[in-house]
Amino acid sequence: MSSTIRSDDDPVTATRRRFLTAGTAALGGAVVGAGAAAAETDNLPPNVPEWMKAPGEPTGGQLYGTPSPFEKGVVRNISTTLKQYISASSRSPLQDLDGIITPNGLFYERHHGGVPAIDPAQHRLMLHGLVERPLIFTIEDLRRFPSESRIHFLECSGNPGYSKPYGKTASDLVGLVSCAEWTGVSLKLVLQEAGLKPGAKWVVAEGADAAALTRSIPIEKCLEDAILVYSQNGERLRPQQGYPLRLFLPGFEGNMSVKWLRRLHVTAEPVYSREETSKYTDLLPDGTAREFSFYMEAKSIITRPSGGQRLSAPGFHEITGIAWSGHGKIARVEVSVDDGRSWQDARLQEPVLTRAFTRFRLPWQWDGKPAMIQSRAIDETGYVQPTLAELLAVRGENYFYHNNAIWPWRIDDNGEVTNALA
Protein backbone atom coordinates (compact mmCIF):
# COMPACT_ATOMS: atom_id res chain seq x y z
CA MET A 1 0.00 0.00 0.00
CA SER A 2 2.81 2.41 0.86
CA SER A 3 4.01 2.51 -2.76
CA THR A 4 0.75 4.18 -3.84
CA ILE A 5 1.07 7.15 -1.48
CA ARG A 6 1.77 10.38 -3.34
CA SER A 7 4.71 12.54 -2.39
CA ASP A 8 4.35 16.02 -0.96
CA ASP A 9 5.25 17.45 -4.37
CA ASP A 10 2.41 15.63 -6.13
CA PRO A 11 -0.26 18.03 -7.54
CA VAL A 12 -3.12 16.03 -6.00
CA THR A 13 -1.53 16.23 -2.56
CA ALA A 14 -0.93 19.95 -2.94
CA THR A 15 -4.55 20.53 -3.96
CA ARG A 16 -5.80 18.51 -0.99
CA ARG A 17 -3.58 20.51 1.35
CA ARG A 18 -5.04 23.77 0.03
CA PHE A 19 -8.58 22.41 0.55
CA LEU A 20 -7.83 21.43 4.15
CA THR A 21 -6.27 24.82 4.85
CA ALA A 22 -9.29 26.59 3.43
CA GLY A 23 -11.63 24.41 5.46
CA THR A 24 -9.79 25.25 8.65
CA ALA A 25 -10.05 28.96 7.90
CA ALA A 26 -13.79 28.60 7.28
CA LEU A 27 -14.20 27.24 10.78
CA GLY A 28 -12.61 30.36 12.18
CA GLY A 29 -9.50 28.48 13.26
CA ALA A 30 -11.42 26.35 15.75
CA VAL A 31 -9.39 23.22 14.94
CA VAL A 32 -5.98 24.76 14.35
CA GLY A 33 -4.67 23.91 17.80
CA ALA A 34 -5.56 20.25 17.54
CA GLY A 35 -4.07 19.89 14.07
CA ALA A 36 -0.84 21.62 14.98
CA ALA A 37 -0.33 19.43 18.03
CA ALA A 38 -0.56 16.26 15.94
CA ALA A 39 1.35 17.50 12.88
CA GLU A 40 4.61 15.72 13.76
CA THR A 41 3.15 12.19 13.90
CA ASP A 42 3.44 9.68 11.05
CA ASN A 43 -0.21 8.59 11.37
CA LEU A 44 -1.71 11.66 9.67
CA PRO A 45 -2.80 11.80 6.01
CA PRO A 46 -1.47 11.04 3.50
CA ASN A 47 0.48 8.41 5.49
CA VAL A 48 -0.94 4.99 6.35
CA PRO A 49 -1.54 4.98 10.13
CA GLU A 50 -0.03 2.24 12.31
CA TRP A 51 -3.41 0.72 13.18
CA MET A 52 -3.97 -0.21 9.51
CA LYS A 53 -0.78 -2.28 9.29
CA ALA A 54 -1.76 -5.27 11.45
CA PRO A 55 -4.99 -7.14 12.31
CA GLY A 56 -6.91 -5.84 15.32
CA GLU A 57 -8.24 -7.60 18.38
CA PRO A 58 -10.39 -10.64 17.55
CA THR A 59 -14.11 -10.84 18.23
CA GLY A 60 -14.67 -12.13 21.76
CA GLY A 61 -11.45 -10.61 23.01
CA GLN A 62 -13.58 -8.80 25.59
CA LEU A 63 -16.40 -10.83 27.07
CA TYR A 64 -18.06 -7.61 28.21
CA GLY A 65 -17.35 -4.68 25.90
CA THR A 66 -15.31 -1.80 27.26
CA PRO A 67 -14.60 1.71 25.91
CA SER A 68 -11.49 2.56 23.94
CA PRO A 69 -8.40 3.02 26.14
CA PHE A 70 -8.19 6.51 24.66
CA GLU A 71 -11.41 7.32 26.56
CA LYS A 72 -10.11 6.05 29.91
CA GLY A 73 -10.55 9.51 31.45
CA VAL A 74 -14.33 9.40 30.97
CA VAL A 75 -15.31 7.95 34.34
CA ARG A 76 -17.62 8.70 37.22
CA ASN A 77 -16.52 11.59 39.38
CA ILE A 78 -15.98 10.83 43.08
CA SER A 79 -15.76 13.88 45.33
CA THR A 80 -12.40 14.55 46.97
CA THR A 81 -14.02 16.69 49.69
CA LEU A 82 -16.80 14.31 50.72
CA LYS A 83 -15.67 11.31 52.76
CA GLN A 84 -16.54 8.18 50.81
CA TYR A 85 -17.93 5.46 53.06
CA ILE A 86 -20.96 3.20 52.84
CA SER A 87 -23.09 6.36 52.56
CA ALA A 88 -21.51 7.88 49.47
CA SER A 89 -22.00 9.02 45.90
CA SER A 90 -20.35 9.29 42.49
CA ARG A 91 -21.29 11.66 39.66
CA SER A 92 -21.83 11.24 35.94
CA PRO A 93 -19.23 13.02 33.73
CA LEU A 94 -21.91 15.13 32.02
CA GLN A 95 -19.40 17.32 30.17
CA ASP A 96 -18.00 14.25 28.36
CA LEU A 97 -21.32 12.78 27.20
CA ASP A 98 -23.45 13.27 24.08
CA GLY A 99 -27.12 12.65 23.40
CA ILE A 100 -29.52 11.96 26.28
CA ILE A 101 -28.78 8.38 27.40
CA THR A 102 -26.25 7.84 30.20
CA PRO A 103 -24.29 4.58 29.79
CA ASN A 104 -24.78 2.19 32.69
CA GLY A 105 -21.10 2.34 33.60
CA LEU A 106 -21.29 6.15 33.95
CA PHE A 107 -24.68 6.45 35.67
CA TYR A 108 -24.46 8.37 38.93
CA GLU A 109 -24.59 6.50 42.24
CA ARG A 110 -25.95 7.34 45.68
CA HIS A 111 -25.88 4.80 48.48
CA HIS A 112 -26.96 5.04 52.12
CA GLY A 113 -25.71 1.69 53.42
CA GLY A 114 -23.33 0.32 50.81
CA VAL A 115 -24.17 -1.92 47.83
CA PRO A 116 -25.62 -5.29 48.86
CA ALA A 117 -24.77 -8.47 46.91
CA ILE A 118 -28.21 -10.01 46.35
CA ASP A 119 -28.88 -13.43 44.84
CA PRO A 120 -31.97 -12.86 42.67
CA ALA A 121 -33.10 -16.43 43.26
CA GLN A 122 -33.39 -15.67 46.98
CA HIS A 123 -34.82 -12.16 46.68
CA ARG A 124 -38.53 -11.54 47.30
CA LEU A 125 -40.88 -8.57 47.05
CA MET A 126 -43.55 -8.49 49.74
CA LEU A 127 -46.76 -6.53 49.11
CA HIS A 128 -49.04 -6.16 52.13
CA GLY A 129 -51.08 -3.72 54.22
CA LEU A 130 -54.32 -2.26 52.92
CA VAL A 131 -54.72 -4.83 50.13
CA GLU A 132 -57.25 -7.61 49.58
CA ARG A 133 -54.60 -10.24 48.85
CA PRO A 134 -51.14 -9.87 50.44
CA LEU A 135 -48.59 -11.25 47.97
CA ILE A 136 -44.95 -12.29 47.80
CA PHE A 137 -43.24 -12.16 44.40
CA THR A 138 -40.06 -13.73 43.10
CA ILE A 139 -38.20 -11.89 40.34
CA GLU A 140 -39.47 -14.47 37.86
CA ASP A 141 -43.03 -13.87 39.06
CA LEU A 142 -42.66 -10.19 38.23
CA ARG A 143 -41.12 -10.91 34.83
CA ARG A 144 -44.26 -12.83 33.88
CA PHE A 145 -46.27 -9.60 34.01
CA PRO A 146 -46.53 -7.43 30.86
CA SER A 147 -43.41 -5.28 30.66
CA GLU A 148 -42.82 -1.71 29.55
CA SER A 149 -39.77 0.41 28.72
CA ARG A 150 -39.53 4.18 29.16
CA ILE A 151 -36.76 6.77 29.05
CA HIS A 152 -36.56 8.97 32.15
CA PHE A 153 -33.97 10.94 34.12
CA LEU A 154 -33.11 10.20 37.74
CA GLU A 155 -31.74 12.97 39.99
CA CYS A 156 -30.64 13.29 43.58
CA SER A 157 -32.44 16.18 45.31
CA GLY A 158 -29.10 17.36 46.73
CA ASN A 159 -27.81 18.11 43.22
CA PRO A 160 -26.17 20.54 44.04
CA GLY A 161 -26.39 22.03 47.53
CA TYR A 162 -26.82 25.76 48.10
CA SER A 163 -23.58 26.52 49.92
CA LYS A 164 -20.06 27.13 48.67
CA PRO A 165 -17.63 25.80 47.61
CA TYR A 166 -19.32 25.13 44.27
CA GLY A 167 -17.78 22.69 41.82
CA LYS A 168 -15.51 23.44 38.88
CA THR A 169 -17.07 21.21 36.21
CA ALA A 170 -20.59 20.32 35.10
CA SER A 171 -20.08 16.97 36.80
CA ASP A 172 -19.00 18.62 40.05
CA LEU A 173 -22.07 20.83 40.01
CA VAL A 174 -24.94 18.65 38.83
CA GLY A 175 -23.43 15.22 38.18
CA LEU A 176 -25.94 13.53 40.48
CA VAL A 177 -28.33 13.15 37.55
CA SER A 178 -28.47 10.66 34.69
CA CYS A 179 -30.95 9.38 32.13
CA ALA A 180 -31.69 5.84 30.99
CA GLU A 181 -34.23 3.51 29.44
CA TRP A 182 -35.94 1.63 32.27
CA THR A 183 -37.69 -1.71 31.78
CA GLY A 184 -40.02 -3.39 34.23
CA VAL A 185 -43.61 -3.81 35.35
CA SER A 186 -46.19 -1.13 36.04
CA LEU A 187 -46.66 -0.77 39.80
CA LYS A 188 -50.32 -0.02 39.12
CA LEU A 189 -50.71 -3.46 37.57
CA VAL A 190 -49.14 -5.19 40.57
CA LEU A 191 -51.29 -3.21 43.02
CA GLN A 192 -54.38 -4.18 41.03
CA GLU A 193 -53.34 -7.81 41.33
CA ALA A 194 -53.36 -7.46 45.12
CA GLY A 195 -56.49 -5.27 45.20
CA LEU A 196 -56.42 -1.96 47.08
CA LYS A 197 -58.67 -1.54 50.09
CA PRO A 198 -60.57 1.69 50.86
CA GLY A 199 -58.33 4.10 52.73
CA ALA A 200 -55.19 3.12 50.81
CA LYS A 201 -53.46 6.49 50.42
CA TRP A 202 -49.73 5.74 50.62
CA VAL A 203 -47.29 2.99 49.70
CA VAL A 204 -44.22 2.65 51.93
CA ALA A 205 -41.26 1.26 49.96
CA GLU A 206 -38.32 -0.38 51.73
CA GLY A 207 -34.95 -1.39 50.30
CA ALA A 208 -32.90 -4.49 51.15
CA ASP A 209 -29.68 -2.57 51.83
CA ALA A 210 -28.09 -2.25 55.27
CA ALA A 211 -29.80 1.13 55.72
CA ALA A 212 -33.23 -0.36 54.93
CA LEU A 213 -33.95 2.94 53.18
CA THR A 214 -37.67 3.65 53.47
CA ARG A 215 -39.84 6.23 51.69
CA SER A 216 -43.56 6.98 51.63
CA ILE A 217 -45.13 7.43 48.18
CA PRO A 218 -48.57 8.92 47.48
CA ILE A 219 -50.93 6.33 46.00
CA GLU A 220 -51.65 8.72 43.10
CA LYS A 221 -48.03 8.46 41.93
CA CYS A 222 -48.06 4.69 42.31
CA LEU A 223 -51.08 4.49 40.03
CA GLU A 224 -49.76 7.06 37.53
CA ASP A 225 -46.38 6.01 36.12
CA ALA A 226 -44.37 4.13 38.78
CA ILE A 227 -42.40 1.10 37.56
CA LEU A 228 -40.91 -1.95 39.27
CA VAL A 229 -37.63 -2.01 37.31
CA TYR A 230 -35.37 -4.97 36.63
CA SER A 231 -33.46 -3.72 33.56
CA GLN A 232 -31.66 -0.51 32.58
CA ASN A 233 -30.53 0.38 29.07
CA GLY A 234 -31.37 -3.10 27.86
CA GLU A 235 -29.44 -5.13 30.45
CA ARG A 236 -30.22 -6.22 33.99
CA LEU A 237 -29.75 -3.54 36.64
CA ARG A 238 -26.22 -3.10 37.94
CA PRO A 239 -25.84 -3.83 41.68
CA GLN A 240 -25.18 -0.10 42.26
CA GLN A 241 -28.56 0.68 40.65
CA GLY A 242 -30.61 -1.72 42.73
CA TYR A 243 -30.14 -5.22 41.27
CA PRO A 244 -32.24 -7.27 41.04
CA LEU A 245 -35.25 -4.94 41.55
CA ARG A 246 -35.85 -1.28 42.21
CA LEU A 247 -38.77 1.10 42.33
CA PHE A 248 -38.72 3.93 39.80
CA LEU A 249 -40.78 7.11 40.17
CA PRO A 250 -40.35 9.36 37.09
CA GLY A 251 -39.74 13.00 37.99
CA PHE A 252 -39.52 12.44 41.77
CA GLU A 253 -36.36 13.02 43.82
CA GLY A 254 -33.94 10.13 43.38
CA ASN A 255 -33.96 8.58 46.84
CA MET A 256 -37.68 7.80 46.48
CA SER A 257 -36.91 5.36 43.66
CA VAL A 258 -35.93 2.83 46.30
CA LYS A 259 -33.21 0.37 45.23
CA TRP A 260 -33.00 -3.35 46.09
CA LEU A 261 -36.75 -3.19 46.68
CA ARG A 262 -38.00 -5.81 49.14
CA ARG A 263 -41.25 -4.48 50.59
CA LEU A 264 -44.28 -2.40 49.61
CA HIS A 265 -46.58 -1.61 52.55
CA VAL A 266 -49.90 -0.02 51.59
CA THR A 267 -51.02 2.37 54.33
CA ALA A 268 -53.41 5.21 55.14
CA GLU A 269 -50.61 7.57 56.28
CA PRO A 270 -46.95 8.25 55.46
CA VAL A 271 -44.47 6.49 57.72
CA TYR A 272 -42.30 9.59 58.40
CA SER A 273 -39.06 7.66 58.07
CA ARG A 274 -35.59 9.07 58.67
CA GLU A 275 -35.23 9.80 54.95
CA GLU A 276 -38.31 12.07 54.97
CA THR A 277 -37.86 13.85 58.29
CA SER A 278 -34.28 14.42 59.40
CA LYS A 279 -33.17 14.05 55.76
CA TYR A 280 -34.72 15.30 52.52
CA THR A 281 -36.65 17.97 54.43
CA ASP A 282 -35.70 21.65 54.45
CA LEU A 283 -36.02 24.43 57.03
CA LEU A 284 -37.66 27.58 55.67
CA PRO A 285 -36.86 31.13 56.86
CA ASP A 286 -40.09 31.29 58.90
CA GLY A 287 -39.08 28.21 60.90
CA THR A 288 -41.43 25.76 59.21
CA ALA A 289 -40.20 22.63 57.47
CA ARG A 290 -40.77 21.87 53.80
CA GLU A 291 -41.29 18.12 53.58
CA PHE A 292 -42.43 15.70 50.88
CA SER A 293 -40.93 17.91 48.17
CA PHE A 294 -41.26 15.15 45.63
CA TYR A 295 -40.85 16.77 42.21
CA MET A 296 -37.58 17.83 40.62
CA GLU A 297 -38.18 21.23 39.03
CA ALA A 298 -37.07 22.31 35.54
CA LYS A 299 -33.32 22.55 35.20
CA SER A 300 -30.58 22.85 32.57
CA ILE A 301 -26.82 22.99 32.30
CA ILE A 302 -24.47 23.83 29.44
CA THR A 303 -22.06 20.92 29.15
CA ARG A 304 -19.91 22.25 26.30
CA PRO A 305 -18.23 24.63 26.67
CA SER A 306 -18.24 24.23 30.44
CA GLY A 307 -15.95 24.41 33.46
CA GLY A 308 -12.59 22.72 33.05
CA GLN A 309 -12.65 23.01 29.25
CA ARG A 310 -10.86 25.48 26.99
CA LEU A 311 -11.86 26.96 23.64
CA SER A 312 -8.97 26.39 21.25
CA ALA A 313 -9.46 29.54 19.15
CA PRO A 314 -11.99 32.24 18.25
CA GLY A 315 -14.60 31.30 15.68
CA PHE A 316 -17.45 28.82 15.52
CA HIS A 317 -18.32 26.79 18.61
CA GLU A 318 -21.51 24.88 19.34
CA ILE A 319 -23.05 25.52 22.74
CA THR A 320 -24.79 22.35 23.92
CA GLY A 321 -26.22 20.95 27.11
CA ILE A 322 -29.11 19.08 28.70
CA ALA A 323 -32.42 20.14 30.24
CA TRP A 324 -35.00 18.17 32.23
CA SER A 325 -38.11 18.60 34.37
CA GLY A 326 -39.98 16.36 36.80
CA HIS A 327 -43.25 17.96 35.69
CA GLY A 328 -43.15 16.79 32.08
CA LYS A 329 -41.54 17.80 28.80
CA ILE A 330 -39.09 20.62 28.18
CA ALA A 331 -40.84 23.25 26.04
CA ARG A 332 -37.90 25.61 25.44
CA VAL A 333 -34.32 26.24 26.44
CA GLU A 334 -32.96 29.77 26.22
CA VAL A 335 -29.25 30.56 26.08
CA SER A 336 -27.50 33.83 26.92
CA VAL A 337 -23.95 34.64 25.80
CA ASP A 338 -23.88 38.12 27.35
CA ASP A 339 -24.33 37.48 31.08
CA GLY A 340 -28.13 37.32 30.94
CA ARG A 341 -28.74 40.65 29.20
CA SER A 342 -30.36 38.91 26.24
CA TRP A 343 -31.61 35.37 25.53
CA GLN A 344 -32.14 33.31 22.39
CA ASP A 345 -33.90 29.99 21.82
CA ALA A 346 -31.70 26.94 21.46
CA ARG A 347 -32.66 24.07 19.14
CA LEU A 348 -34.07 21.03 20.97
CA GLN A 349 -32.80 17.70 19.73
CA GLU A 350 -35.46 15.05 19.12
CA PRO A 351 -36.88 13.12 20.81
CA VAL A 352 -38.29 15.49 23.42
CA LEU A 353 -39.70 13.12 26.05
CA THR A 354 -41.55 13.63 29.30
CA ARG A 355 -39.40 13.56 32.43
CA ALA A 356 -36.28 12.81 30.41
CA PHE A 357 -33.12 14.62 29.34
CA THR A 358 -33.55 16.92 26.36
CA ARG A 359 -30.39 17.87 24.48
CA PHE A 360 -30.20 21.50 23.31
CA ARG A 361 -27.84 23.18 20.85
CA LEU A 362 -26.99 26.73 19.81
CA PRO A 363 -24.43 27.76 17.12
CA TRP A 364 -22.13 30.50 18.37
CA GLN A 365 -19.30 32.59 16.98
CA TRP A 366 -16.86 33.44 19.78
CA ASP A 367 -15.01 36.71 19.16
CA GLY A 368 -12.13 35.84 21.47
CA LYS A 369 -13.23 38.27 24.18
CA PRO A 370 -14.37 37.38 27.74
CA ALA A 371 -17.94 36.08 27.77
CA MET A 372 -20.54 34.71 30.19
CA ILE A 373 -22.78 31.90 28.92
CA GLN A 374 -25.75 30.29 30.65
CA SER A 375 -28.98 28.43 29.93
CA ARG A 376 -32.47 28.36 31.39
CA ALA A 377 -35.15 25.72 30.88
CA ILE A 378 -38.88 26.27 30.50
CA ASP A 379 -41.07 23.19 30.88
CA GLU A 380 -44.51 22.49 29.46
CA THR A 381 -46.21 23.89 32.58
CA GLY A 382 -44.63 27.30 31.85
CA TYR A 383 -42.23 27.11 34.80
CA VAL A 384 -38.96 29.02 34.18
CA GLN A 385 -35.67 27.92 35.72
CA PRO A 386 -34.66 30.60 38.29
CA THR A 387 -31.34 32.17 39.24
CA LEU A 388 -29.56 31.18 42.44
CA ALA A 389 -30.29 34.61 43.95
CA GLU A 390 -34.02 34.17 43.27
CA LEU A 391 -34.04 30.78 44.96
CA LEU A 392 -32.15 31.97 48.03
CA ALA A 393 -34.46 34.97 48.39
CA VAL A 394 -37.40 32.58 48.84
CA ARG A 395 -35.80 29.65 50.62
CA GLY A 396 -33.15 31.25 52.80
CA GLU A 397 -29.61 30.23 53.72
CA ASN A 398 -30.58 27.05 55.61
CA TYR A 399 -32.00 25.36 52.53
CA PHE A 400 -30.13 22.39 51.08
CA TYR A 401 -32.21 20.30 48.66
CA HIS A 402 -33.79 21.03 45.27
CA ASN A 403 -31.36 23.61 43.92
CA ASN A 404 -32.35 24.00 40.26
CA ALA A 405 -30.67 27.36 39.69
CA ILE A 406 -29.24 28.69 36.44
CA TRP A 407 -25.50 28.08 36.35
CA PRO A 408 -23.31 30.49 34.32
CA TRP A 409 -19.87 29.72 32.86
CA ARG A 410 -17.19 32.40 32.43
CA ILE A 411 -15.01 32.25 29.31
CA ASP A 412 -11.74 34.20 29.57
CA ASP A 413 -9.95 35.71 26.57
CA ASN A 414 -7.55 32.73 26.60
CA GLY A 415 -10.50 30.36 26.11
CA GLU A 416 -10.46 28.92 29.63
CA VAL A 417 -13.96 28.10 30.98
CA THR A 418 -14.67 28.39 34.72
CA ASN A 419 -17.62 28.44 37.12
CA ALA A 420 -18.85 32.03 37.22
CA LEU A 421 -20.32 31.63 40.73
CA ALA A 422 -17.35 29.90 42.36
Please give the average per-residue pLDDT across 361-390, as a whole number: 97
Please, what's the largest Cα pairwise distance for the chain?
A: 87
* CB distance 394 to 413 below 8 Å: no
- How many whole angstroms separate alpha carbon 114 and alpha carbon 239? 10
CA 375 to chain centre: 16
Of 115, 113, 118, the C-alpha closest to 244 is 118
- How many whole angstroms separate alpha carbon 73 and alpha carbon 71? 5
The predicted pLDDT at position 60 comes to 67
In DSSP notation, 97-143 reads --SSPPPGGG--EEESS------GGG--EEEEESBSS-EEE-HHHHH
* Structure-model confidence comparison of residues 312 and 18, the more confident one: 312
pLDDT surpasses 90 at 167: no
Q: 299-419: which CATH architecture?
A: Sandwich (2.60)
Please name the residues in contact with 27: beta carbons below 8 A apart, sequence gap of 6 or more. 315, 316
pLDDT surpasses 80 at 85: no
Domain ranges of the chain: 2-50, 88-290, 299-419
Q: How many CB atoms lie within 10 A of CB 34?
A: 11
Residue 66 burial class via C-beta count within 10 angstroms: exposed 0-12, middle 13-18, buried 19 and up:
exposed
The predicted pLDDT at position 51 comes to 84
* CB distance 365 to 315 below 8 Å: yes
- How many whole angstroms separate alpha carbon 76 and alpha carbon 91? 5
pLDDT surpasses 60 at 99: yes
Of the listed ranges 9-23, 46-60, 122-136, 269-283, the least confidently predicted one is 9-23
- Please indicate whether the domains covering 88-290 and 299-419 agree at the CATH topology level: no
pLDDT over 90 percentage in the chain? 74
The predicted pLDDT at position 61 comes to 66
CA 291 to chain centre: 24
Question: Helix H segments across 195-325?
Answer: 219-224
The predicted pLDDT at position 82 comes to 65
- 117-154 burial, b at 16+ Cβ within 10 Å, e below that, comes to ebeeeebebebebbbeeeeebebeebeeeeeeebbbbb
Please give the average per-residue pLDDT across 182-200, as a whole number: 98
pLDDT surpasses 70 at 24: no
Q: Give 2's pLDDT tier (boundaries 50, 70, 90).
A: very low
pLDDT over 70 percentage in the chain? 88
- How many whole angstroms separate alpha carbon 343 and alpha carbon 176? 27
Please give the average per-residue pLDDT across 394-414, as a whole number: 93
Please give the average per-residue pLDDT across 69-98, as a whole number: 87
CA 290 to chain centre: 25
* Residue 304 CB-half CA count within 13 A: 16
Question: Is the domain covering 88-290 a CATH 3.30.450.20 domain?
Answer: no
